[in-house]
Amino acid sequence: MTSDPTNLTGSGTVFDDGERLQKVLARVGIGSRRVCENLIAEGRVTVNGTVADLGRRVDADTDEVAIDGVAVGVKPGLVHYLLNKPAGVVTTADDPQGRPTVIGLVPLEPRVFPVGRLDMDTEGLLLLTNDGALTHRLTHPSYGVEKEYIAHLDGSPTRAELRRLREGIELEDGLTAPAEAALLAPGVIRLTIHEGRNRQVRRMCDAIGHPVIRLVRSRIGPLADRRLKPGEWRSLTTSELRALETAASESSGTRPGPKRSRP
Ligand code: URA
């Protein structure tokens, strides 16, 4: 056995260009180079859907890298911000009416885009990124990452009304999927939904006769942060990004199975 785990002798296809895979994985915070080498040696890392050998080189700009079938954002320059959106700010890049936008609350460079949207009057967590692949997965119609809202209502819902929220409500664009609904205090509920229809929470609450007075998104899948103040943003940590990638692949049902390049 060689003492150099990246020794390529007899280890299959060698890609001369690009950076070593373990170096790229270590750079984005997966672990030390040795940890990353072990992941590769265990056959848990794929490049463009094919299990990678030790010594594999990748182009971090174009190659799709995944660990255990979950995509890892390795492209240099990718940013992922978690913003606590205040009320009165619109979730668009440009507003023809000149209202303040969420883009004005985060760094202008590199240019980022919101993932999904919150109504102007809704507060709480919003993801902004220039990671098109992740945005695509999170906004795909089958996207089912949980979104949790705290809704302050006009009046307090009865148990039967909460049950209606849980079991599904007939809205003009169809029946809502099963949701979780809990009464936190009189007139305050926590509603967890998997869909992302326009003004969905407000319309569901209207339908049970308790219009929303204040709406705050408190969680997006694994992402929550009670210390982030309205108007503040921060970058996702590496483990948060991994958890989000995992949640997106699990919920969309598109998690790819690795193909072996050779037996
Ligand atoms: N549901 C709503 O009604 N509004 C939002 O902003 C988000 C979810």
Percent of the chain with pLDDT over 70: 87
Tokens of 80: 């992922």
The pLDDT value given to residue 178? 93
Say what percent of the chain tops pLDDT 90: 65
Q: Tell me whether residue 260 is in a domain.
A: no
Give the separation between CA 255 and CA 211, rounded to whole angstroms: 38
Query: Ligand 1 centre and the CA of 22: distance in Å?
Result: 41
Q: What is the mean pLDDT of residues 42-68?
A: 90
135 and 169 in a single domain? The answer is yes
Same domain, 60 and 26: yes
pLDDT at 252: 57
Instruction: Give the model's confidence band at 262: pLDDT under 50 very low, under 70 low, under 90 confident, else very high.
Output: very low
- Within a domain: 250: no
In the set 59, 68, 95, 119, the catalytic residue is 119
Which has more pLDDT, 253 or 95? 95
- Residues 56, 128, single domain; the answer is no
Which string of b and e fits 123-162 if b means at least 16 CB within 10 Å?
bbbbbbbbbeebbebbeeeebbbebbbbbbbeeebeeebb
- Choose one of 195, 202, 205 to mutate for the ligand 1 pocket test, by most ligand atoms within 8 angstroms of C-beta: 202
Residues 159 and 177 in one domain: yes
94 and 19, same domain (yes or no):
no
Residue 67 and residue 94 share a domain: no
Distance CA(120)–CA(89), nearest Å, equals: 5
**The dihedral sign for the CA sequence 50, 56, 60, 61:** negative
Note the pLDDT of residue 73: 74
104 shares a domain with 68 = no
* Domain shared by 49 and 86, yes or no: no
Number of domains the chain is built from: 2
Is residue 65 located within the same domain as residue 88? no
4 is catalytic: no
Whole-number Å distance between alpha carbons of 244 and 242: 5
pLDDT of residue 143: 64
Instruction: Give the whole-angstrom CA distance, residue 185 versus residue 171.
Output: 26
The pLDDT tens digits of the residues spanning 191-235 come to: 999 988 999 999 999 999 999 999 999 999 999 999 999 999 999
- List the domain range (segments joined by +) for residue 235: 80-243
200 Cβ below 6 A of ligand 1: yes
Is residue 5 very low, low, confident or very high in pLDDT (cuts 50, 70, 90)?
Answer: very low
254 found inside a domain: no
Nearest CA owner, ligand 1 atom 4: 199
Please state, in angstroms and rounded to a whole number, the distance separating the CA atoms of residues 24 and 240.
Answer: 18
Which of 55-69, 89-103, 161-175 is modeled with the greatest confidence?
161-175
Alpha-carbon distance 105 to 84, whole Å? 10
CB atoms within 10 A of CB 73: 21
Rounded CA separation 84/234 (Å): 9
- Distance in angstroms (rounded) separating the CA atoms of residues 44 and 61: 21
Ligand 1 pocket test, candidate residues 201, 204, 213, 217, most atoms within 8 A of CB = 201
Cα(201) to centroid of ligand 1, in Å? 5
Pocket test for ligand 1, best of 125, 143, 149, 210 (most atoms within 8 A of CB): 149
Q: In this structure, are 54 and 166 located in the same domain?
A: no
Query: For 7-33, what is each residue's pLDDT tens digit?
Result: 333 333 445 678 999 998 887 777 788
pLDDT in tens, 127-159: 999 998 888 888 876 667 999 999 999 999 999
**Does the residue 259 lie in any domain?**
no
Q: Which of 55, 72, 89 delimits the end of a domain?
A: 72
Does one domain contain both 211 and 230? yes
Mean pLDDT of 43-72: 88
Q: Residue 158 and residue 181: Cα distance in Å, rounded?
A: 12
Q: Give domain status of residue 186, yes or no.
A: yes
Q: In angstroms, what is the span from residue 255 Cα to ligand 1's centroid?
A: 28
Mean pLDDT of the chain: 87
Whole-angstrom Cα distance, residue 149 to residue 197? 14
Q: Do the Cβ atoms of 234 and 79 come closer than 8 Å? A: no
| Poorest-pLDDT segment among 71-80, 108-117, 190-199 | 71-80
| Contacts (Cβ under 8 Å, ≥6 apart) of 28 | 72, 73, 74, 238
List of residues 6+ apart from 117 with CB closer than 8 A: 91, 92
Q: Which of 48, 72, 96 is the last residue of a domain?
A: 72
Q: In this structure, are 168 and 237 located in the same domain?
A: yes
Q: Whose CA is nearest to atom 2 of ligand 1?
A: 199
